[in-house]
Chain A
Amino acid sequence: MTIVTFVKHVPDAEARLGRGPDGLDLGGASFALDGMDEYGVEQALRLREAGAASEVVALALGPARSEEALRSALALGADRAVLLETDAALDPIAQAPALAEVVREAGAKLVLVGGKQADWDSAALGPALAEALGWPLLDWATELAVEGDGIVAVHDVDDGSARWAAPLPAVVTAQQGLNEPRYPTLPNIMKAKRKPLERRPLAAASATVETIHVERPAHARRNVVLDGDVATAARELARRLRDEAKVL
């Protein structure tokens, strides 16, 4: 079985986002493989190591720099990589059909993708991929195993968690708790440079959502630190919550 694991190249979580003339300035930010996508890569590798899969394909869609996220996935252990290259700003609904095409072509039965990517804070890609493929969606998995021709899993739902089972193929979104991702070793980083990475220009796709403007919100916080001993500070905090902030 082939598993496709989607990876996105996103601004580092600790990166400083600057203010530019057009709102947001990402010029100073460093980029990395998305943290939630990384749980998907790790799960794909574990399934392959357990004998449930024979091949792990890392897939990305985005500008040329996305190749770095694919190289990271290859260094972790993915077998090969495909980049659908585009400089266009495409929303997940617009991306899904092109990504689904690559999944079908690879003959994959399982797609793993992060629950939410840290650039557009969108949780739509996994569900949109499931729709484009006509497959069931398992979102926010915290446990996942392949059993026979299907998968059994536990995932988060609105009021807690639920057990979930379905025959393959399926799309699964990954998150913290699913596994503890490994670190790439130096020999594997070297080996990753020789693994196949195919770059293709993305065929025409039209965005369904247009971004008009992005800006950093200015938070007006009181930033009051209450002084004095613990009892005094606590009394002052209780009083201010009631009289000043009026939240009690």
Chain B
Amino acid sequence: MVLIVLDHAAGTPRRTAFEGVRAGRRLAEALGVPLAGLVLGDADGAAAAATALAAFVPTVYRAADPALAAGGHEARTRAIVDVARSVGARVVLMAASRSGQAVAPRVALRFGGALLEDVTDVRVEAGAIVAERLTYLSRAVATVRALAEPVVVSVKPGAFAAAEASAAMGAVEDVTIAFEESDRVAQVEPAGRAARDRVALEEADVVVCGGRGLGDADAFEAHVVGLADDLGAAVASTRAVVDAGWRPYAEQVGQTGKSVAPKLYVGLGLSGAVQHLSGMNRSGVIVAVNKDPDAPIFKVADYGVVGDVREVVPALRAALAALD
């Protein structure tokens, strides 16, 4: 069986869940094995998410426990391993979100299996599971093959298109997890949420990112957040901006931050250091605005405007508003 861990936020499936379904269907078909999903959460969240996701996979296993909603990696690991063992999973697939990246290695090691981590593509070749993943700060692509089973695959958010619903509605089955005391040793409580009701950075189709070229936090708010509002985009920042205290760490894109691959990435007043490029160079279309024509960002950009962001952005917003 191919078992997909399907993520949700308080019962609403995340986009990565639908991306996981597409990758999981491909592997299940190639291996000739059945496909199932696993939803983890508290009772309400797991119930809502399982109902929504039953339209995408033949079976959804639903594990409900407060420990699974709190985001503890140990409890999630226990639940995934328990269910994967009982259904005889050959492949366990999950999103390479922060929690997925923390859980996937634990699951692989507890199984004595292999981990294909943060993959941009995955397929079956001569019976083996083969994947592609970015390496060396995303400057190279490695093709890797699993040498042990079961294979745990974490899929890079945005690497696969979201799946369509199936023709038939799947079944939902409740499963009970036998937690151990060590699974609950860590106490987790949310400290701060990502800013306001904006689309999640890693799920956004459009990302507007600002750098130190904005000059100060007010100019960042006016131009970067302003343009993002116009485009319905997520806001991102460079490390320099976060270090300066203008924006929260949660918005940082790059080696030490998040990795994004939106359809459109707009980089404003940022030079394009290799650490930043490693977090955004898989974007569909890249736009760069910088006053330095030699800034490295222009080398990876589809469209560039050389100029002061504080002049170019208001002009761009006016031009976008004037489009028919």
A-to-B contact residues, CB < 8 Å: 11, 13-14, 17, 23-24, 35-36, 91-93, 96, 115-116, 118-128, 130-132, 134, 136-140, 142, 154, 156-167, 170, 175-177, 206-217, 219, 221-226, 230-231, 233-235, 237-242, 245, 247-248
Contact = CB atoms under 8 A, between A and B. Distances in A.
B256 A175 contact: yes
Nearest to A143: B191
B264 A215 contact: no
A138 B191 CA distance: 15
Given A136-B74, A140-B98, A221 B301 contact: yes
A214 B255 CA distance: 20
B136 A11 contact: yes
Nearest to B259: A121
Contacts of A96: 105, 109
Contacts, number: 271
Contacts of A223: 298-299, 301-302, 304
A43 to B, nearest CB: 15
Interface of B: 9, 71, 73-74, 77, 97-99, 101-106, 108-110, 113-118, 130, 133-148, 182, 185-194, 200, 206, 239, 242-243, 249-250, 252, 255-257, 263-264, 274-275, 278, 281, 284-287, 293, 298-307, 311-312, 315-316, 318-320, 322-323
A99 B109 CA distance: 14
A159 B194 contact: yes
Contact of A92 (B77, B115, B193, B200): B115
Contacts of A35: 255-256
A176 B239 contact: yes
Contacts of B185: 136, 166-167
Given A125-B105, A225-B305, A239-B323, 12 more contacts: A121-B278, A127-B73, A127-B102, A128-B105, A160-B250, A162-B71, A164-B187, A170-B186, A222-B302, A225-B304, A241-B285, A248-B264
Given A163-B189, A165-B187, A225 B298 contact: yes
A127 B10 CA distance: 25
A17 B102 contact: no
Contact of A123 (B117, B193, B286): B117
B140 A234 contact: no
Contacts of A17: 136, 139-140
Contacts of A163: 188-191
A212 B117 contact: no
A235 B305 CA distance: 11
A136 to B, nearest CB: 4
Question: Mostly helix, strand, loop or mixed at chain B's interface?
Answer: mixed
Contacts of B103: 127
14 contacts: A93-B109, A118-B255, A127-B101, A137-B106, A160-B190, A161-B191, A161-B192, A164-B186, A166-B185, A176-B257, A215-B141, A222-B302, A238-B322, A248-B264
B316 A234 contact: yes
Given A13-B275, A159-B193, A166 B186 contact: yes
Contact of A213 (B142, B147, B187, B188): B142
B319 A234 contact: yes
Given A159-B194, A163-B189, A176-B256, A128 B287 contact: no
A128 B106 contact: yes
Contacts of B287: 237, 241
B304 A245 contact: no
A19 B305 CA distance: 31
Nearest to B106: A131
Closest 7 CB pairs of A and B: A234-B315, A176-B256, A208-B114, A238-B319, A127-B105, A124-B105, A222-B302
Contact of A210 (B9, B147, B281, B293): B147
A225 B290 CA distance: 11
Contacts of A154: 191
B302 A224 contact: yes
B323 A247 contact: no
A234 B305 contact: yes
Contacts of B192: 160-161
Contact of A208 (B9, B147, B239): B147
Contact of A225 (B97, B110, B293): B293
Nearest to A121: B135
Contact of A177 (B114, B249, B299, B322): B249
A221 B97 contact: no
A209 B147 contact: yes
Contacts of B104: 124, 127
Nearest to A118: B137
